[in-house]
Each structure stands twice: as structure tokens, then as C-alpha cells.
Amino acid sequence: MFPPSCPRRFLLASLVAALALAPAGCREQAPPPAPAPLKTIADHFPIRVGSETVQMEIALTPGEQQRGLMERGKLGDNEGMIFVESPVPHRLTYWMHDCPTPLDIGYFAPNGQLAEIYPLLPFDERTVASRRPDLQFALEMNQGWYSAHGVRPGNQVDLKALAAAVRARGFDPKNYGL
């Protein structure tokens, strides 16, 4: 291989060069990073509504939407739950079955614009229906939150942030019209 007269430093340099040029399959490689775990209904996502940032839980599945905020005490000051309905706009109806917390609900159009706001009373099982038949999202917040923060009809929910949250939950935003 190398003559006996070859200096040892030449042999060492040759060995280092050979290892550096070896095919990637011969070298040990770090495993690829594990994918981030999917978020759940219990996770909060910072999403703007008007000029306010709300820490929203995202209710997507029929089970999550049916459960909503049942049996939950008071939410944090800027915490709420947004219900992302089917991509076909329709009249929205909500009620307060087993919900002890007074809430306000905001109904949003598919373009993210807040259209209507209604109070929801604890344990009141009468439905609170939207007037408009072309709505897609509902955001429940502590009662008085909308007025206290100056969030009014015409304000927008950040649909890009909402779509990113839906994606982080492992769902395709396109299936929700986002």
C-alpha cells in the first residue's frame, strides 16, 4: 500500500482524507428530527380579533364542537374557543347545555368579518341563532369581553393564523374553507 519510507503524518492525512470523501452511507448520520406532535383541543393558539390577540382553543370535530365549554369555569381574560364550522356558510345556532360560565358569542362570516354578537347565559338551553344565513365561525369569550375590548361587528379574525392553527391540529384548512 504505502512504502515503508512514507512518513506517518502522510499516512494520517491520507486516512483523514479518505474518511472525508467516503460516501454518506458509510458514515454514521444523525436521524432526521421527529415531527412535532400534533396539537389538540386543549392547546391555545394566539389569533387576532380586531386589535386584540386571543388565546383560542380550536373546536373542529363534531365531538369537540358538541362538548364546547361544558362544565368549564371562567376562562382567562383573553381566552376563548372558536368553532370552525363546515366550509358551507349557514345560519349558526349555539346553546349553553352544562355550561356554568356566562359567555358572549361572536358569529363570523367566511371572510373573517365579525357579523353578530350575542350574550349566552349559564345553563340556558335555548338556542341562540344568528340572523344571517351566511356564517362560518363562532367565537365564545367571557361575557362582556367584546365590548370591554372594543371588538365590534366589522372587525376581522386573522384567517391566516386560524388556518395555521387548524394545520397544527393535523387538519387540512381547505376542508374548512380556509
pLDDT per residue as tens digits for the range 104-163: 999 999 999 999 999 999 999 999 999 999 999 999 999 999 999 999 999 999 999 999
H or E element that contains 160: helix 159-168
Reported confidence tier of residue 5, pLDDT bands at 50, 70, 90: low
Sign of the CA dihedral running 169, 171, 177, 178: positive
Mean pLDDT of the chain: 87
**Residue 12 has what pLDDT?**
46
Cα-Cα-Cα-Cα dihedral of 127, 122, 124, 82, to 10°? 20
- With a cut of 80, say whether residue 16 has pLDDT above it: no
Per the confidence metrics, is the pTM higher than 0.95? no
How distant, in Å, are the alpha carbons of 10, 30, 142, 152 from that of 139? 72, 44, 10, 13
pLDDT tens-digit series, residues 34-43? 777 888 888 8
Cα separation, 19 vs 2, in Å, equals: 17
Residues contacting residue 128 through CB under 8 Å, at least 6 positions apart: 93, 94, 95, 105, 118, 120
Sign of the CA dihedral running 60, 115, 69, 65: negative
Q: At the fourth CATH level, which superfamily is domain 45-176?
A: Protein of unknown function DUF192 (2.60.120.1140)
- With a cut of 80, say whether residue 28 has pLDDT above it: no
- Check: CB of residue 160 under 8 Å from CB of residue 118: no
**Residue 15 has what pLDDT?**
45
- Check: CB of residue 137 under 8 Å from CB of residue 166: no
